[in-house]
Amino acid sequence: MKLDMPLSLMAGIGPKRAEQFERLGLVTVGDLLDFYPRSYEDYGDVIAIGKVQPGKVTILAKPTTVTGRYVRRGLHVTEAVVADTSGELRVVWFNQPYRAAQIDTSKEYYFSGEYEFARGRYVLNNPQTELAANVDPNGSRITPVYKETKGLTSAFIGRALSSLMPLVDDLPETLPPELCKEYDLLARPAALRAIHAPMTKADYEAGRQRFGFEELLAVVVAAAMNKRENAALEAWHIPFDEAAAQAFAGSLPFKLTNAQRSAVWEIIKNLEAGTPMNRLLQGDVGSGKTVVAAMVAFMAAQAGYQTAFMAPTELLAAQHAATLDKLLTPHHLTVALLTGSVKPKARAPLLEAVASGAIAVTVGTHALIQPTVNFHSLGFVVIDEQHRFGVEQRRRLMDKSARMPHLLSMSATPIPRSLALTVYGELDVSILNELPPGRTPITTKIASPNSRAKVYEAADTAIEAGRQVYVVCPQIEPSAAVPGKGSAKTKAAPGGDDHKSVVQAFQKISGSLLKHRRVAMLHGAMNADQKAEIMAGFVAGEIDVLVSTTVIEVGVDVPNATIMIIENADHFGLAQLHQLRGRVGRGKEQSYCYLIPATSKAPSRRLRELEQSTDGFYLSEVDLELRGPGEVYGRAQHGQLDMRLARIGDVRFVERVQKAAQWLLNSTIDLNNYPELASRIERAKRVITLN
């Protein structure tokens, strides 16, 4: 069997079939073998219709009627009544218009799905459907379920794969057999059979285990190699000047927390080591990361090196610049702000001052990576909210130094431990797990849309006492105003929806809910000047209520704001909600965060977890569990990492893979003999590298 053989050369696959396969991204035999099932159905577990209870069920039944229609634009419903000797039930499929034509009322099928109450009656919802005649009575009853496309069923894909199974023994092993033996992994042929043609649940689990291991191994080995390569580079030497460090700490209006002190200490050791620092500084919003960065920038300047400090938005960059300016000016260091909205007239002299070395710390947005920006002696790079930047953008900033500069990445999004061990395995990590003293923990409450008036009453009381309020909505304009969307005319659910957009919520709040208060709105469609003016007004206390999208970034610091109201809260991810919440609770006053879901249905797990916990690390674990590593790690980077089966949330599994990676790197095994693994590692190295 040749892995690069086109599928069209397989028996039973003509040009038309090949086209269907191509829609799933499958062109060659190798692609097909790599196309793992989404799930498995156990057709051995059939239940009589008369005995069906709500929940997951598999029935063996004959359809009596099948009809399909569009109930409205964008929503197609296929309905069938199916029967066995014990009774009949109703089956529905949504947006699978091809179903009706596929189903033959003279034949028996397995239907496997969720039996549930929906729209006023019980139905079997979107079941996996398999012609009974296709299920071999003597073979396995466990049937892999593959992603389907129009005209191409899971069953057909399964049959194509079955026909390949006798040939897989000839395929080369992609992992060193010694490693498979040491770590109890199936050999590749056995793993392919286990995953595509399992006899038992244990089979496919072992298959998934082997391929998941392989995926993660490549990433972990890549991280270890990056780390070794980085350690071989020579870096700028920034010696520890104890007197200067003490003078700086002594000049602060507060005492550093213990967490800040140990982070600074860890960094100092890196700067002296002679190899480039590659450290991630993690800490919840308000934990004092910027101060740590400022202190390091100060030490770099003492040694003659400039600092570049990149943040994802203008607002954040401006705020960091102001903070750093306050902290560094007393020490006679110049801080400059470089963003896209610096006018050409001001830009030229600014760029010159950066290039001449007159500016010690340049804070900015993506504007920093423009080719026109040159440094005199860039030695230290800080990247705030590093996951918001792509690998390429980070690299371009670092390339402005003649040597690999010291890098401090900062993140207010805590990374789950398992991710920190894997994709971030090449990083050193410092954690600020302690908030500066004098802060009162935020109280979080889920409030049904029916009780919205009460929430705004509470806000009104706080404003009366001199406090300020944030209201965050998921979008700028009402959905119907979005041009060019086919479904835009669809009437959205009534109720919560009139608070979904900033524009609507602003009208409601300034027109009725809090009409006697000073209300302003802020969103990404406004220009930078407008945004800056509104934000300045809020900072100065001239605005009571700020209605905004998520443009107000993590880290924006208005200690007088004590109420955060999040409208349509289910729209946001857990990590994002946690970050939004962090905009309040920055002063001494008790702060509140109200989560208002779109409907008064039972709130989601996300919202309930957020209501219960303020621990960013705990929430990050929950987030990982709910969304999977792809989303948590960051869309851009992860899209290029092949991690479909690796159970990255499972710390024990991750630790085993880590051991295997070390075992492999310390062994005499030549990776060149495993080109597939070697190229996976190469790819992963490029994707995860920070330097």
CB 369 within 8 A of CB 393: yes
Cβ 436 to Mg ion shortest distance, Å:
12
Instruction: Closer to Mg ion by CB, 179 or 317: give it.
Output: 317
Instruction: Closer to ligand ADP by CB, 253 or 344: give it.
Output: 253
Cβ 541 to Mg ion shortest distance, Å:
21
Structure tokens at 355: 């290039």
Cβ neighbourhood burial of 74 (10 Å; 0-12, 13-18, 19+) = exposed
393 contacts which partner out of ligand ADP, Mg ion, none, CB within 5 to 8 A by kind?
Answer: none
Instruction: Closer to ligand ADP by CB, 160 or 432: give it.
Output: 432
Instruction: Closer to ligand ADP by CB, 105 or 251: give it.
Output: 251
283 contacts which partner out of ligand ADP, Mg ion, none, CB within 5 to 8 A by kind?
Answer: ligand ADP
Cβ 255 to ligand ADP shortest distance, Å:
6
405 contacts which partner out of Mg ion, ligand ADP, none, CB within 5 to 8 A by kind?
Answer: none
Cβ 498 to Mg ion shortest distance, Å:
33
> Given the rule CB under 6 A, which residues bind ligand ADP?
254-257, 260, 283, 285-291, 412, 436, 555, 557
Cβ 498 to ligand ADP shortest distance, Å:
33
Cβ 557 to ligand ADP shortest distance, Å:
5
d(CA 636, CA 330): 40
Helix, strand and coil content of the chain, in percent to the nearest 5, comes to 45, 20, 35
Instruction: Closer to Mg ion by CB, 112 or 290: give it.
Output: 290
Pick left, alpha or beta for residue 397 (phi over 0 → left; psi -120 to 50 → alpha; otherwise beta).
alpha
Q: Say which residues have a Cβ less than 8 Å from residue 425's Cβ, sequence separation at least 6.
A: 220, 223, 224, 227, 658
Instruction: Closer to ligand ADP by CB, 12 or 437: give it.
Output: 437
Helix ranges (H only) for 424-561 are: 452-464, 502-508, 528-539
286 contacts which partner out of Mg ion, ligand ADP, none, CB within 5 to 8 A by kind?
Answer: ligand ADP
Q: Which amino acid would we find at residue 482?
A: V
Task: Please name the residue that has the structure tokens 């900062």.
Answer: 410
Cβ 8 to ligand ADP shortest distance, Å:
56
Instruction: Closer to Mg ion by CB, 270 or 287: give it.
Output: 287
d(CA 42, CA 54): 18
d(CA 517, CA 543): 8
217 contacts which partner out of ligand ADP, Mg ion, none, CB within 5 to 8 A by kind?
Answer: none
Instruction: Closer to ligand ADP by CB, 128 or 290: give it.
Output: 290
Structure tokens at 111: 């239907």
569 contacts which partner out of Mg ion, ligand ADP, none, CB within 5 to 8 A by kind?
Answer: none
> Given the rule CB under 5 A, which residues bind Mg ion?
290, 555
How far is residue 598 from each of residues 117, 134, 440, 580, 595, measured CA to CA in Å?
21, 44, 29, 17, 10
Query: Which three-class secondary structure state does DSSP give residue 641?
Result: coil
256 contacts which partner out of Mg ion, ligand ADP, none, CB within 5 to 8 A by kind?
Answer: ligand ADP
260 contacts which partner out of ligand ADP, Mg ion, none, CB within 5 to 8 A by kind?
Answer: ligand ADP
Q: Say which residues have a Cβ less than 8 Å from residue 490's Cβ, sequence separation at least 6.
A: 72, 73, 74
Instruction: Closer to ligand ADP by CB, 288 or 425: give it.
Output: 288
Instruction: Closer to ligand ADP by CB, 95 or 246: give it.
Output: 246
What is the Cα Rg of the chain in Å?
A: 29
Cβ 298 to Mg ion shortest distance, Å:
17
d(CA 678, CA 603): 46
Phi, psi torsion values for 432, nearest 5 degrees: -95, 95
Instruction: Closer to ligand ADP by CB, 208 or 320: give it.
Output: 320
d(CA 320, CA 314): 10
| C-beta nearest to ligand ADP: residue | 288
Instruction: Closer to Mg ion by CB, 144 or 582: give it.
Output: 582
Query: Which three-class secondary structure state does DSSP give residue 441?
Result: coil
d(CA 258, CA 434): 8
CA dihedral 273, 274, 275, 281 (to 10 degrees): 50
Cβ 260 to ligand ADP shortest distance, Å:
6
Cβ 559 to ligand ADP shortest distance, Å:
7
d(CA 457, CA 512): 12
Instruction: Closer to ligand ADP by CB, 284 or 623: give it.
Output: 284
Between strands 545-548 and 519-522, the pairing is: parallel
CB 95 within 8 A of CB 8: no
Closest to 165 measured CA to CA, from 141, 189, 130, 147:
189
291 contacts which partner out of Mg ion, ligand ADP, none, CB within 5 to 8 A by kind?
Answer: ligand ADP
Cβ 325 to Mg ion shortest distance, Å:
15
Cβ 315 to Mg ion shortest distance, Å:
11
CB 398 within 8 A of CB 406: no
Cβ 468 to ligand ADP shortest distance, Å:
16
| C-beta nearest to Mg ion: residue | 555
